[in-house]
Amino acid sequence: MSESDARGLLLDARGITKRFPGVLALDHVDLQLERGEVHALVGENGAGKSTLIKIIGGVLRSDEGTIAFEGRNVSHLDPHGAQKLGVSIIHQESELASTLSVAENLFLGRQPRRLRCLVDRRRLHREARTWLEQVGADFSTKTLVRDLAISERRLLELARAVSMHAKLVIMDEPTTVFTDREVQHMFGLVRDLRSRGVTTLYISHRLEEIFSIADRVTVLRDGQHIATCPIDQASEEQLVSWMVGRQLERVFPKRSSLPGEEALSVSGLTRRGVIDDVSFSARKGEIVGLAGLVGAGRTEVADAIFGALKLDRGEIRIDGDPIRIDSPADAIRHGIGYITADRKLDGLLLSKSIKENISLASLPELSRFSFIKWGAEKAEAHRYRKLLQIKTPGIHQLAMNLSGGNQQKVVFARWLLVHAKVLILDEPTVGIDVGAKQEIYRLINDIAEDGRCVIMISSELPEILGMCDRILVMHQGRITRELSRDEATQEEILYYSAGLRETAPTTTTRET
């Protein structure tokens, strides 16, 4: 690299190596970030992305290598030192204090004061409002963080970074479960940062986002630097090949769809202000998609079927027979399984083993006189680890130590073990890399081909179009349109998601 190029660098990391017991997480990785660029960092789960940004942010120290920031060696920073330099990280999992207000979180640890020891609350909220307006946030500075939507929390974290005059903003999966409108708003903010000379390191599994927002891209695989290039010199196929080390098959694997008898039927599901008179059916061997914007009521329908949301009225039938579901335990007993959108919060016991997580919903069948049959539990865990190809040293490994894709396989194993007739999937591939996504897609197809009924919720329209036999579009708690696989397009789904009930415009393309 020439001297003129070097003068344009904000961060220059060279030969970064990090070892954990039994694992070489990073192996002489280089990363150069230019001032005022949007630089994408991509790779499968376990590629070393999180370890690298923790080293840049001072959370971890590298075993080998050097880091220069604006030409100064900063290889041994702590988080406070990195923050003083102008490094701000927006993590995939929010690190905000949920019981504090928006303003208190924005200025946490640096509140404006009066008389040296008292927090100047009037100034706190006035300045917080100023920074929120800069990122287009319209929620109150007095709102508790726990009451914010995910997208609003992301805006708060970005406002905090801007208020600290960050020179490098690291965004780790910033648009998870965002609507298209929210994604475009975030892109506008990133472009605004670029125009002000702020560098963004953008990490995402959504390759379409990379091509929309990035100037350059760096690919990691198995802890090694594979390639760095301008985004206009890369293709999606090339990036995927670099990431996984091989050419993948078509994104959505083919499946022979021969639906059988009706497995699930719901009619008139209503919860005041949440879902309104929702009725549909799904057959054995069929994948039915629920599409719509965030807040349309998709997850609430799933919660209602699983007994996690109390209904005002409505009927649920399994195999043609009406059933009463007052709790998730009732749903499980009737053969309904549910993989929630947030596997870490609702789907897994992260501090428990793979074995314990797989057997969680089957303990009555795996117990005798209230004592767990350890041999049977262990045998089933081994069986599903092998069947689903869960990559782990053993079934006693803690769930928190697995990659996102393997964590999701553990949740799938739980519901396969209880022989669920109906499996509801809410955002089944969120936060999962492209290689693991294909494995999850094949697993979903296998479940359908085994004669089970799948209800699939996804905010990724190509995923809905590529996987589902039928698509139910929701808006404001109601189903506004049912589309067959052949007639569905992204444009038509978006049209009905917006609640436009007139005749949809004619479209001829279908993006999958």
**What tokens does 85 get?**
């330099």
Q: What are phi and psi of 425, to 5 degrees?
A: -120, 115
| Pairing state between β 224-230 and 216-221 | antiparallel
Q: How many CA atoms lie within 13 A of 90 on its CB side?
A: 32
Q: What angle do CA 8, 9, 12 make, to 5 degrees?
A: 160
Collapsing DSSP states into helix, strand and coil, what is residue 266? strand
The alpha carbon dihedral of 321, 327, 333, 339 has a sign of positive
Bridge partners, residue 201, by sequence: 39, 170
Nearest to 407 by CA among 387, 376, 436: 436
Q: Show Cβ contacts of residue 131 under 8 Å, excluding neighbours closer than 6 positions.
A: 106, 159, 160, 162, 163
The 3-state DSSP class for residue 458 equals: coil
Q: Among all chains, which residue has been given the structure tokens 């801007």?
A: 162
Structure confidence at residue 505 (pLDDT): 43
Distance CA 79, CA 85 (A): 10
Q: What is the pLDDT of residue 2?
A: 39
**Two structure tokens written together for 261:** 């008898």
Domains assigned to the chain: 9-86+168-248 (3.40.50.300), 93-165 (no CATH), 259-335+420-512 (3.40.50.300), 344-419 (no CATH)
- For 320, phi then psi, to 5°, come to 85, -10
Question: What's the CA gap between 65 and 32, in Å, rounded?
Answer: 13
Residue 250's CB is within 10 A of a number of other CB atoms, namely 9
Residue 282's contacts (CB-CB under 8 Å, 6 or more residues apart) are 262, 263, 264, 265, 288, 422, 453, 454, 455
**Measured between alpha carbons, how far is 468 from 288 in angstroms, rounded to an integer?**
5
Determine the length of the chain. 512
Sheet holding 478-484, edge to edge: 336-339, 422-426, 453-457, 287-291, 470-475, 478-484
Assign 3-class secondary structure to 93-119: CCCCCCCCEHHHHHCCCCCCEECCCEE
Q: Which two tokens stand for residue 332?
A: 């499980």
What are the start-end ranges of the H helices in 353-403? 354-359, 374-387
Nearest to 68 by CA among 125, 112, 8: 8
Alpha-carbon 242 to chain mean position: 22
pLDDT value for 205: 80
Reported as half-sphere exposure (CB side, CA atoms, 13 A), residue 408 has a value of: 24
* 231-to-42, 48, 76 alpha-carbon distances in Å: 12, 21, 31
Please report, in tens digits, the pLDDT of each residue of the chain (512 residues total). 434 344 489 999 999 999 987 778 899 999 999 999 999 999 877 788 989 999 999 999 999 999 999 999 998 888 889 989 999 988 877 778 888 999 998 988 788 888 777 888 888 899 899 999 888 888 999 999 888 887 788 889 888 888 888 999 999 888 876 777 788 888 999 999 999 999 999 998 888 899 999 999 999 988 999 999 999 999 888 888 888 776 555 567 777 778 899 999 999 999 998 999 999 999 999 999 999 877 789 999 999 999 999 999 999 999 999 999 999 999 999 999 999 888 777 778 888 999 999 998 888 888 888 888 889 899 999 998 988 888 888 899 898 888 778 888 899 999 889 889 999 999 888 877 777 788 889 899 999 999 999 999 998 888 898 899 999 999 889 999 999 988 898 888 878 887 765 444 444 444 43
Burial 379-402 (b: 16+ CB within 10 A, else e): ebbeebbeebebbbeebebbbeeb
